[in-house]
């Protein structure tokens, strides 16, 4: 019995975490042996849960390297969930492939593009190697059309292309936007 890789991708607020949690909870109902990982850096809301913006959650193990996954799985593991996959090192794809080869169902959720609209970290490689890819949309907060991009705002204004990742004293926020309403000032 071989496993496979499922990727759930899209912009912020598109429901990636919601969809990941939904699939993992159904696997649990089917009495599958499920384990969930997320990158250590992401600790919005809760330290060891995957939490969606709508409030749904599932317990997850924060890890800092993709190879840490091997410390937590065993030959009973049937389903591995990974949230915020874009923040992992590119080796996360090799780990996902290896787990799928070993018979595990791997479900990975994450951003396909960064706030500039460019491919994000390991995600493009993951998409190329996954059996199943679901690209989902949010609602554009400007025009209401399907949103495929994440708009970064600094003090309410569109972030510039080379704005630093962390700006002291600035209020950073994100919203979902469509191609037309997404702004990146060079
Ligand atoms: P993601 O993991 O993709 O960031 P979540 O699963 O955490 O998304 O959150 C999805 C939820 O976010 C939606 O069900 C909805 O309640 C909420 N939400 C907030 N803003 C938006 C938006 N602009 N478009 C769609 N959903 C939104
Ligand atoms: Zn729009």
57: domain CATH number is 3.40.50.300
Give nearest CA residue, ligand 1 atom 7.
52
> What range defines the domain where residue 184 resides?
137-186
Q: Are residue 88 and residue 116 in the same domain, yes or no?
A: yes
Query: Do 167 and 130 fall into the same domain?
Result: no
d(CA 20, CA 22): 5
- Same domain for 181 and 164: yes
pLDDT for res 170 = 82
Do 33 and 62 lie in one domain? The reply is yes
Residues 128 and 50 in one domain: yes
Given this model, what pLDDT does residue 185 score? 83
CA distance 130 to 186: 33
Same domain, 92 and 164: no
Residues in the chain: 186
- Whether the CB of 16 sits within 6 Å of ligand 1: yes
Same domain, 132 and 159: no
Write b or e for each residue in 160-176: b if 16 or more Cβ atoms lie within 10 A of its Cβ, otherwise e.
eeebeeeeeeeeeeebb
126 & 142 share domain: no
Direct distance between the N- and C-terminal alpha carbons of the chain, in angstroms, rounded to an integer: 50
Q: Is the CB of 67 under 6 A from ligand 1?
A: no
What pLDDT shows up at residue 44?
54
What's residue 130's pLDDT?
A: 98
CATH of the domain at 173: 3.30.60.20
- Domain total of the chain: 2
Same domain, 38 and 17: yes
Identify the pLDDT of residue 152: 95
Cα–ligand 2 centroid distance for 151 (angstroms): 11
Q: Which of 115, 136, 157 is the last residue of a domain?
A: 136
Q: Give the pLDDT of residue 20.
A: 97
Phi, psi of 110 (to 5 degrees): 180, 175
Q: Is 84 a catalytic residue?
A: yes
Same domain assignment for residues 149 and 163: yes
Residue recorded with tokens 């996902």: 96
Q: Please give the pLDDT value at position 11.
A: 98
Q: What distance in angstroms lies between residue 122's CA and the mean position of ligand 1's atoms?
A: 22
Ligand nearest to the CA of 139: 1
Is the CB of 148 within 6 Å of ligand 1? no
The pLDDT of residue 42 is 53
Instruction: Please give the number of the atom of ligand 1 that sits closest to the Cα of 109.
Output: 2
- The owner of tokens 């690209």 is 135
The answer to whether the CB of 141 is under 6 A from ligand 1 is yes
User: What separation in Å is there between the alpha carbon of 43 and the centre of ligand 2?
Assistant: 29
For every residue of 24-91, which 3-state class applies, written as one string? Answer: HHHHHHCCCCEEEEEECCCCCCCCCEEECCCCCEEECEEECCHHHHHHHCCCCCCEEEECCHHHCCCH
Judgement on whether residues 76 and 150 belong to the same structural domain of the protein: no
For the CA of 175, the closest atom of ligand 1 is 23
3-state secondary structure of 126: helix
Burial class from Cβ neighbours inside 10 Å (0-12, 13-18, 19+) for residue 76 reads: exposed
Q: How many other CB atoms are there within 10 angstroms of residue 34's CB atom?
A: 21
In this prediction, the answer to ipTM > 0.90 reads: yes
Q: What is the pLDDT along the chain (186 residues), one digit of tens a residue?
A: 789 999 999 999 999 999 999 999 999 999 999 999 999 875 555 568 888 888 888 899 999 999 999 999 999 999 999 999 999 999 999 999 999 999 999 999 999 999 999 999 999 999 999 999 999 999 999 999 999 999 999 999 999 888 777 677 788 999 999 999 999 988
Same domain? 91 vs 164: no
Identified catalytic residue from 6, 84, 118, 157: 84
């Amino acid at each position: 019995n071989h496993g496979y890789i499922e990727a759930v991708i899209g912009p912020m607020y598109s429901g990636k975490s919601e969809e990941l949690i939904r699939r993992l909870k159904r696997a649990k109902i089917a009495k599958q042996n499920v384990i969930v990982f997320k990158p250590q850096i992401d600790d919005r809301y809760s330290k060891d849960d995957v939490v969606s913006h709508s409030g749904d959650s599932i317990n997850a193990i924060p890890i800092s390297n993709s190879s840490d996954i091997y410390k937590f799985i065993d030959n009973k593991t049937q389903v591995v969930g990974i949230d915020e996959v874009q923040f992992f090192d590119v080796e996360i794809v090799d780990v996902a492939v290896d787990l799928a080869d070993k018979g595990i169902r791997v479900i990975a959720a994450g951003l396909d593009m960064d706030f500039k609209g460019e491919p994000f970290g390991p995600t493009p490689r993951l998409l190329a190697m996954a059996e199943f890819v679901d690209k989902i949309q949010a609602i554009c907060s400007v025009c209401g059309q399907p949103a495929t991009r994440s708009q970064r705002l600094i003090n309410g204004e569109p972030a510039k292309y080379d704005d630093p990742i962390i700006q002291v004293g600035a209020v950073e926020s994100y919203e979902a936007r469509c191609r037309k309403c997404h702004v990146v000032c060079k």
